[in-house]
Amino acid sequence: MADGDALQIKIRSSDGNELTFKVRGRTPFQKIFDTYGKKTGQDANLLRFVFDSQRLRIEQCPLDLDMENGDVIDAMVEQLGGGGHSSGSA
């Protein structure tokens, strides 16, 4: 993909809904994630975005990952904490 070319990428939520975005290769993911959050009514900072089993960083862009037309990014609710409770008596 060339630097200035536009491509369509999809962001898929955990319930299977997809939103399509037409972006340029150098568009930072921060901008894409913020737009996704606004369109879905979610706080993008509370979501985790994954492509090819790799968590995306906001400073990256589609060109960094050699993304192509139709590629899908998965959006998941960030799991915070999750420390298990140990069994035993106090």
Task: Tell me 32's DSSP state.
Answer: H
Of residues 8, 9, 75, the one with CA closest to residue 44: 75
User: All domains of the chain, ordered by start, with CATH?
Assistant: 6-77 (3.10.20.90)
- 11 and 18 in contact (C-beta within 8 Å)? yes
- Over residues 67-72, the mean pLDDT reads 97
pLDDT of residue 13 exceeding 80: yes
Predicted TM-score of the model (pTM): 0.82
DSSP 3-state assignment of 74? strand
- Over residues 18-41, the mean pLDDT reads 96
